[in-house]
Amino acid sequence: MGDLTPLLADATRTRQIAEAERTIRFDLSSPRPVSEALATLASAPVASEAEPAAEIGAPAAEVEFRFANRSGAIFATRPFAPRSLTARWRDAAGTVVATSRADGLLPIALAPGDTATSTFTLDVPAATPAAPTRSSSCPRGSPISSSHGAP
């Protein structure tokens, strides 16, 4: 934890409430709304951002997925429990060539503009092409996605 001066001077986020025994109590607040909507994480990576490569093989692998919040709301996970997502496997042209299951924990909370990585257990299709492939994950039935690059 760094110098808290900027945070304590930010009236939109902290308010001094009481002081006793060389301890000061501040109430926390935020100028931003809180959302549990998975669409808050609906951010594909910017094309220019380099994605780390990983070599994985069937039938399963643990893969770190990067989540970004480019909405105006703070994403919060409730309840904080493992989620089952659908991974979409795309070839170099962006065509979905397979889907599989990915289980893991979403970031517990993510502010606008922030990113976080979470490890998911990913079922790897046996028929995944040997050619460069990118996988992305999304909640089942939802168009949103997070991504993980492959060479």
Partner 1 sequence: MTRLTERLPDPAAADALYAIGFRTLLIHGKRLPKQEWAT
> Cβ–Cβ contacts within 10 Å for residue 145, how many?
21
- The minimum distance between CB 25 and partner 1, in angstroms, equals 6
- The minimum distance between CB 104 and partner 1, in angstroms, equals 17
Of residues 34 and 96, the one with the C-beta less far from partner 1: 34
Give contact residues for partner 1 (rule: CB under 8 A): 1-8, 10, 13-14, 22-30, 32, 34, 74-77, 108-114
- The minimum distance between CB 62 and partner 1, in angstroms, equals 19
CA atoms within 13 A on the CB side of 85: 29
151 is written with which tokens? Answer: 């060479």
Of residues 3 and 55, the one with the C-beta less far from partner 1: 3
Alpha-carbon dihedral sign for residues 64, 69, 73, 74: positive
From CA 94, how far away is CA 47, in angstroms rounded? 12
Of residues 27 and 51, the one with the C-beta less far from partner 1: 27
